[in-house]
Structure 1
Amino acid sequence: MSTATQETPLAGRVRAGLAGLHPGEPVGELKVLPGGHSGLTYSVTAGETKYVIKAVPAGQRPVGRNDVLRQARVLAALAGSAVPVPGLAVVDEAQPAWFAMEFADGDAVEPVLDEPEVAEATARARMLEIASVLRRLHGTDVDAPGLDAPAPLDAAGELARWSRTLHAVPAELRPGGEELLERLGDDVPGGLPPVLLHGDFRLGNVLCVEERAVAVVDWEIWSVGDPRIDLGWFLLFADHRNFPALGRAVPGLPTEPDLLDAYLDGRPALPAMDWFRALGRMKMAAIMGHNLRRHREGKHHDPDQERLPPTIAAMIRTARDILG
């Protein structure tokens, strides 16, 4: 349940910023939006309009997931494009920085993982729809004014980054992980022209109304790099069997080949997709292993993390199978 915050310096700044858009209209209290994993996320109303506020936590550096101005830049670059994103309303660069974006109605549900369940036909249509959204995202100009895109990360760089994360997971929690990393390292594919990457592209991060995608959200880790990095991650969520003890079967959900076909839309097949499919599984194993380790070390108490070992093992095993 959302809870109202007390009046804070941030609340005062947000009130002043939105009052400029809604002169004479009341601005409500900031309410914490649950489920956020980066920075501070609130909802607020100004007149009849509802906004989402993203802010740097007081006393913290605006880096990584707390760099909300970086998130605002990509939303501004995509405004009016073929990629649906929430409209950017106010950006306040004074630290601790914050921005306001329009509240997008819709639900973001991962069919094989999340509650509530979505009708099978709707889940299928949504997944095929966002495959085309991903294609349009990858067609965005990475030199768009104001985007200030980082240097591109190639396959080798992405592998090195997530290898470090997996190595930080205790060996007993990542059975077969070393062999998988060796296989990935032995056959790193050549790169494709860099594109704008979301970094966590899946239905759980796309607000939908019925079968239509209305807003891609959660841009905390956007980057520039090989399009197959996003694709390999997205394809993971097509099959509940990738998530033992976590996932559920969704009859009629598109297969990985179905999603690739929808993404390509008649274009030539992408080379070395199996390597990127395996990379996506390694990344998921690394993330889950990291979260489970933090729970067991008492750094973030979450007993639900104890459900992860079968999925971590399955991610590594199936990645090795994909690589042969």
Structure 2
Amino acid sequence: MPGDIEQVTAQLTKLVRAKTGDAGARAHSLDSLPGHAGFSYSFILERSARAATPAGKYVVRIAPPGVKISGPADIVRQARVMASLADTQVAVPPIIWYGDEVEFFERPYFVGGFVEGIKLSESSLPLAHLKRLARNGIATMAALHNVPWEPRREAWGEPFALSEEHKRLDYLLDRPTLDPAVVARAPELRERLRSSLPTAARIGCVHGDFQWSNVLFNQERVVALIDWEISLVGATLLDLGWICFFSDPASWVAATGAGVDPGRGSLLNADEIVEAYAEAAGFPVSIPEVRWFRAFAGYRFGVITCFNLMLHRRGKRHDPLWEETALSAPRMFEHGLELLG
């Protein structure tokens, strides 16, 4: 079962020897990495000889035990999605191996190259410099949305309709166990969104969780876009609405602000993000449509907050952070209604 460092080290050494054919190869110096969709470690690969896969630092991600291998837990799909972008302008970690052979971890896995980079939220660079880097990050998002999805259908799957995401959120929201005070105006916002659903949204490759913690920088460049657990082919403005939501102080009460650094302000405000995206996109960007996707992002995260708060309070998934985040949920729904006008 993944999770024990010594056990994973032994399993990983078995894998690298099998994949490289080098009986002297070994994995060591495992270090846990953050993430919620599996077990992730950086490690050092030591080789007894030079080879196509050289010695150095790598990352392994292993699907969590006891869960259905689908959605965020589908580790192999994540690897295929990243591998499909290797020949594009979108920087992703190089994928070395992936599979679901039971003899290694008894769960699906992938091994990728370790990318040295910084996250803007962890940087001490001057704010003006961070804003310049952030614009480069938004340009990377636009580059992703320009990648032709049809030739990558085998890795990415078929387009996912906005109406299907509405149904998924209905499943989370329509529960009597949710706190009515937190749910607040969510049903009203749902109906407004549904009645104004974009009918001709541009379709393309969507990261699904495009926020600053998932973009790595080195010098002036984006060196890796990471965490592809909920990537999909769908409306590309889902990504733009998402990053705008997390960068908009109007969606958060003062005590929280999960997406906004209260000490320094947002890296870019929502208008600056939309401006940078429109400059880099190379295709028309409708501002009214962007506002719909910003409202939808607030609705989506607000519903997820209501649901996870319920799980926490009922002892099904302990995570007290949702208590703090839930303070802003009513504001998320209110601001979504304001964006829709």
TM range (shorter): 0.7 to 0.9
Q: Distance in 2 between matches of 1:130 and 1:7?
A: 37
Matches for 1:81-230 after TM superposition, within 5 Å: 81-95=88-102, 96-109=107-120, 111=121, 119-145=126-152, 147-168=154-175, 169-230=178-239
C-alpha distance 21-304 of structure 1, shift in aligned 2 (>3 A): same
* 1:246 paired residue among 229, 233, 256: 256
What is aligned with 1:306?
A: 323
2:272 is matched with 258
The Cα shift of 1:22 comes to 8.5
**SS of equivalent residue, structure 2 residue 155:** coil
- State the Cα distance separating 1:316 from its structure 2 match: 0.7
CA distance in 1, matches of 2:267, 2:227: 24
1:188-245 Cα offsets, whole Å, 9 max, x none, are 1213342011110111111122442110000011111011111111111223342322
- Report if the CA contact (8 A) 2:13-2:25 is conserved: no
Whether the 8 Å CA contact 1:27–1:44 is kept in 2: the answer is no
Query: Are the structure 2 counterparts of residues 40 and 141 from structure 1 closer, same or farther at C-alpha, using a change threshold of 3 Å?
Result: same
The one-letter amino acid of 2:174's match is: H
Give structure 2 stretches of 5+ with no counterpart.
47-54
Residue 283 of structure 1 pairs with residue 274 of structure 2: no
CA shift, 1:167, in A, is: 2.9
Which residue number corresponds to residue 12 of structure 2? 14
Which residue of the partner structure matches residue 319 of structure 1?
336
Change beyond 3 A, Cα 1:315–1:5? same
How far did residue 53 of structure 1 move?
0.6
The one-letter code matched in structure 2 to 1:40 is F
1:265-319 Cα distance to aligned partner (Å, 9 max, x none)? 2642325221111000001101222222221111222333221232111111100
Cα distance change, pair 98–282 in 1 and its aligned pair in 2 (3 A): same
Q: Hey, what's the Cα distance between the residues in 2 that align with 1:264 and 1:177?
A: 30
Distance 2:256 2:219 in 1: 25
SS at match of 1:207: strand
Rounded Cα–Cα distance in structure 1 between residues aligned with 2:100 and 2:158: 23
When normalised by structure 2's length, the TM-score is 0.84
- Supply the distance in 1 between the matched residues of 2:24 and 2:117 (Cα, whole angstroms): 26
- TM-superposed CA distance for 1:261, in Å, is 2.0
Structure 1: how far apart are the matches of 2:27 and 2:163?
48
Identity of matched residues, %: 28
Decide whether aligned partners of structure 1 residues 216 and 252 sit closer, same or farther in structure 2, where only a CA change above 3 A counts: closer
Gaps spanning 5+ residues in structure 1: where?
A: none
Aligned equivalent of 1:237, options 246, 251, 257: 246
C-alpha contact (below 8 Å) 2:27/2:45 kept by paired residues: yes
- 1:50 is matched with 57
Structure 2 distance, partners of 1:313, 1:56, is: 34
Contact 1:4 1:32 in 2 (8 A): no
Contact 1:5–1:29 (CA under 8 A) maintained in structure 2: no
Q: Supply the distance in 1 between the matched residues of 2:29 and 2:75 (Cα, whole angstroms).
A: 17
Q: 1:146 to 1:98 in 2, by over 3 A?
A: farther
User: Counterparts of 2:293 and 2:317 in 1: how far apart (Å)?
Assistant: 30
Q: Contact 1:4–1:30 at 8 Å: present in 2 too?
A: no
Q: Which amino acid aligns with 1:5?
A: I
TM-score, with structure 1 as normaliser: 0.88
Amino acid at match of 2:56: T
- What is the letter of the counterpart of residue 27 of structure 1? R
Q: Is the 8 A contact 2:90 2:144 kept in 1?
A: yes
Q: What SS is found at the alignment partner of 1:83?
A: coil
Q: Which moved more, 1:99-108 or 1:21-30?
A: 21-30
- Contact residue 4 and residue 29 of structure 1 kept, 8 A: no
Contact 1:246 1:307 in 2 (8 A): yes
Amino acid paired to 2:118: D
Aligned to 2:284: 268
What is the match of residue 5 of structure 1? 5
The alpha-carbon deviation at position 121 of structure 1 amounts to 2.0
Number of aligned residue pairs: 316
1:58, CA displacement in angstroms?
A: 4.1
Assess, with a 3 A threshold, how the Cα gap between structure 1 residues 60 and 302 changes in structure 2: closer, same or farther. closer
